[in-house]
Chain A
Amino acid sequence: MLTISLTHYVVLSALLFSIGLFGVLTKRNAVAVLICIEIMLNAVNINLVAFSKYITPIDFTGQIFSLFVITVAAAEVGIGLAIIIAIYRNKLSVNLDDFDWLKW
């Protein structure tokens, strides 16, 4: 019978992270990029929780850390969306290709 080991979690986490990264690099829509960032963060959370369970089961360092990540992620999304709305009001667009003010 197949038991779920640490490897499975890590592979899942890596897959999620890669999917998120791919999204961040390819999506044109700023909101979609934010969502992809959330996916990457949650991939990290899975990693943290899994390592916590399998390697240091006694103290909950990894789990508590993941709670912090969730909190920070919520704040980050809040700010991110606010920025996107502010840009949208200026440019009437949420397409990242239009956000090229940082160019020389």
Chain B
Amino acid sequence: MYVEFALQHAWLVPLLPALAFVAIVFLTRPWQMLSAILAVGSMASSCVIATLAAYGIFTNHEYVEKPLVYATRWFSLGMPAMPDLQINVGVQLDPVSAMMMVMVSFISTFIFLYSIGYMNGEDGFSVFFSYLSLFGASMLLLVISSNLLQMFVAWELVGLCSYLLIGFYTHKISAREAAKKAFVTCRIADFGLLLGILSLQIVFGTLNLTELGEKIAHFEDYTTFGILTMIAVLVFMGPIAKSGQFPLHVWLPDAMEGPTPVSALIHAATMVVAGVYLVGRTMFLFHEVPSAMELVAVTGAFTALFAATIAITQREIKKILAYSTVSQLGYMMLALGVGSLTASMFHMWTHAFFKALMFLGAGSVLVALHHKADVWEMGGLVKKMPITAWTFVIGGLAIAGIPPFAGFWSKDEILVATLAEGHYVLFAMAAFTAFLTAFYMWRMIFLAFFGKENPANHPKESPWTMTVPLLVLAVGAIGAGWLGTPWHNVWAEWIYFGSPHHAAANYGAMMLSVVLAVAGIGLAYTMYLKDTEKVKAKAMAEKYSTAYRVLVNKYYIDELYLWFNHALVDGAAKIFYLFDIYIVDGIVNGIGASAKVTGEGLRVFQTGRLQNYVLIFFIGVLIVAVLMAFVGPSNAVPVMGGVK
């Protein structure tokens, strides 16, 4: 009965946090605790409904082939390019969206709870929770959308909330700049996504996901060759920015300027996985276009490797985590690109747990150290902050891919899927990235939590609102992957595109990933823990100083964009400035000058002598009289400007 209710009322899932947002903004803002409880409570209720609905979905295998959709008319228009434009808004429940719904609401609930402890005593406490609620509501709306335009609206709402939250510390210039950067970068790409959605509407006449899936599968219009490829690439532009893929990843590390719960929310549960989810949702489109799939796969693999190399040299704890997110998102894209929705969604699921865990752990450290973020200045935190440290270690084991922690299973799934599709180069890149991931993650863990204590720090363990989410997420980081072990893959039975994969356990790939992970951790151990003075690390940095500088400066991508802006955009602006000064202003000033010259010419008639005026008046009357005499009164009237 409850399950039935939840299935029928899944729209409540995004609505409850949205209502919490409205209530906090208009009613409960002066009462901080009430606002926080409202936000946490609404998200927890959403989580309950989502879980019940997911239970309903995951007990009936019919929903895999036939999603549960209920929709209503949003608006309809008639336009020349799109006759009978009808846009629906509704809820689409299938295993993918049900899984996402549970994941987003579950992770968000604990991040909200954690925020009570983290934001304690900060200015704008209530406002922060209202933004968080709106963020969660937008993401949940995106997840359950049955229509691409509805999804796009939610997509933009997510972008707006990220802007508000990244720039939450409005007194910090860097935060404001980072917020702008995130918003503008995403907007650039969203333009492509919008064009893609419009093209889909024009070509297929619908934006409903289920209908689109059927129509695209039977699309045989060879007269417009390449149209599907174009649409797929345009649609993929949105996820490139939203999910921080190269070359539009630049906003993601800067997004660390926001409060840490926001980083966790953006990186684990809401914002960045939206891009992966969108590609997964429109898999029917990409599936038809092998070249677009190649693009997705190559972008993903390259981003994974690229971000991992940057992460090696970063010093700020949250920056390292940010680049690891970019890298892990690259994995998810790679999985989508090789056609494995299963592996991609699985990695998203496990990643949400361990990445949220590590971000919240980093936040706990930052609170204890009064926002000193450099891992080189930490050390030995495990003694004073055992819960934070050991949960963080669990997260580190999970992301490095050590069995039986969650990340191992999903990463293995991706590697096997890549290998099965015959992408050996991409497989090598992904495997090497796995090694790098283990290395930089454990570099951070050894530096921050183990080794010598820094006497300048006086850390103490965080309050229960912060440690309870850590513990819960740690359980997820350990166990979330057991759903998809190669021997009994429950996950692949429910979440797949086309037909379920039954890849047998590939012990070779499994061994390889474990060996790589252990090697990465071992290297980090010898360089950063055993070697207490970090002699080897310093020697490495000096020996390869050029490479080191390039990595520390993130391949100079930001500088490249800056140069591009200065050289090209500002250069073009200078040309337009000249155009403005000489052409536009020239016209305006010319009109003014002509009036002035005319006035100068006419002022000689303004003698001030009455009799001159009388004479002119008389001459005028005379002219009218002569005109009347020659052309006749009825013809003269129009000549003089009157109406006949």
Contacts and interface: CB of A to CB of B under 8 A. Distances in A.
B608 A102 contact: yes
Interface stretch (B196-204, B520-528, B609-617): B609-617
Nearest to A27: B611
Interface in A18-74: 21, 24-26, 33
B499 interface: no
B611 A103 contact: no
A103 B607 contact: yes
B538 interface: no
A96 B609 contact: yes
A97 B615 CA distance: 15
Contacts of A103: 606-609
B607 A21 contact: no
A21 B608 contact: no
Contacts of B609: 96-97, 100, 103
A100 B608 contact: yes
B618 A104 contact: no
A104 B610 contact: no
Nearest to A25: B611
Nearest to B604: A104
Contact of B608 (A24, A26, A101): A101
Contact of B606 (A25, A97, A104): A104
A104 B614 CA distance: 17
Contacts of A99: 610
B73 interface: no
A103 B610 CA distance: 10
A24 B614 contact: yes
B618 to A, nearest CB: 7
Given A21-B618, A25-B615, A96 B610 contact: yes
A50 to B, nearest CB: 19
B603 interface: yes
Interface centre among B606, B611, B614, B615 (most CB of A within 10 A): B611
A25 B618 CA distance: 10
Interface in B561-614: 603, 606-611, 614
Interface in B441-482: none
Contacts of B607: 100, 103
Contacts of B611: 24-26, 33, 96
Nearest to B609: A100
Contacts of A104: 603, 606, 608
Interface centre among B606, B609, B610 (most CB of A within 10 A): B610
B530 to A, nearest CB: 96
B604 to A, nearest CB: 10
A2 B533 CA distance: 142
Nearest to B618: A21
Nearest to A102: B608
A26 B615 CA distance: 10
A25 B608 contact: no
Contacts of B608: 100-104
Nearest to B607: A103
Contacts of B614: 24-25
A24 B610 CA distance: 10
Contacts of A102: 606, 608, 610
Interface string A85-104: 00000000000110111111
Nearest to B610: A96
A26 B609 CA distance: 12
A103 B615 CA distance: 16
Contacts of B615: 25
Nearest to A26: B611
Contacts of A26: 611
Contacts of A24: 611, 614
Nearest to B615: A25
A33 B614 CA distance: 11
A3 B235 CA distance: 104
Nearest to B606: A104
Contacts of B606: 102-104
B614 to A, nearest CB: 6
Nearest to A101: B608
Interface string B343-368: 00000000000000000000000000
B623 to A, nearest CB: 16
Contacts of B618: 21
Interface in B607-638: 607-611, 614-615, 618
Nearest to B612: A25
A2 to B, nearest CB: 29
Contacts of A21: 618
B600 to A, nearest CB: 11
B413 to A, nearest CB: 90
A101 B613 CA distance: 13
Nearest to A99: B610
Give the residue among B606, B608, B615 with the most A Cβ atoms within 10 A. B608
B612 to A, nearest CB: 9
Nearest to A96: B610
Nearest to B603: A104
A24 B221 CA distance: 91
B553 to A, nearest CB: 69
A31 to B, nearest CB: 14
B613 to A, nearest CB: 8
List 6 A-B pairs, minimum CB-CB distance, nearest first.
Answer: A103-B608, A100-B608, A102-B608, A104-B606, A25-B611, A96-B610
Interface of B: 603, 606-611, 614-615, 618
27 contacts: A21-B618, A24-B611, A24-B614, A25-B611, A25-B614, A25-B615, A26-B611, A33-B611, A96-B609, A96-B610, A96-B611, A97-B609, A99-B610, A100-B607, A100-B608, A100-B609, A101-B608, A102-B606, A102-B608, A102-B610, A103-B606, A103-B607, A103-B608, A103-B609, A104-B603, A104-B606, A104-B608
Interface of A: 21, 24-26, 33, 96-97, 99-104
Given A24-B611, A102-B608, 18 more contacts: A21-B618, A24-B614, A25-B611, A25-B614, A26-B611, A96-B610, A96-B611, A97-B609, A99-B610, A100-B607, A100-B608, A100-B609, A101-B608, A103-B606, A103-B607, A103-B608, A104-B603, A104-B608
